[in-house]
Amino acid sequence: GKSGGFPLARTGVSLTLGVLGVLATATGAYALHLRRRKA
């Protein structure tokens, strides 16, 4: 039987969420940097 469920899928989701979080943080920091440069 399937005793482990979908560990690979679960890991993929966790990785995707982590990457999205990092991208969101980097984008926010970059936007702030650009805004400060303009001002």
Element at 39 (helix H, strand E):
none
Q: What is the pLDDT of residue 29?
A: 97
Q: What is the pLDDT of residue 39?
A: 73
Q: What is the pLDDT of residues 8-36, one digit of tens each?
A: 888 999 999 999 999 999 999 999 999 99
Q: What is the pLDDT of residue 38?
A: 82
Give one DSSP letter per residue of 1-39, joined into a string. --SS--HHHHHHHHHHHHHHHHHHHHHHHHHHHHHHHH-
Q: How many other CB atoms are there within 10 angstroms of residue 28's CB atom?
A: 10
Q: What is the pLDDT of residues 1-11, one digit of tens each?
A: 566 667 888 89
Determine the Cα angle at 16 with ends 14 and 33, to 5°: 120
Q: What is the pLDDT of residue 18?
A: 98
Q: What is the pLDDT of residue 9?
A: 84
- Measured in whole angstroms, the distance separating CA 30 from the mean position of its chain's CA atoms is 15
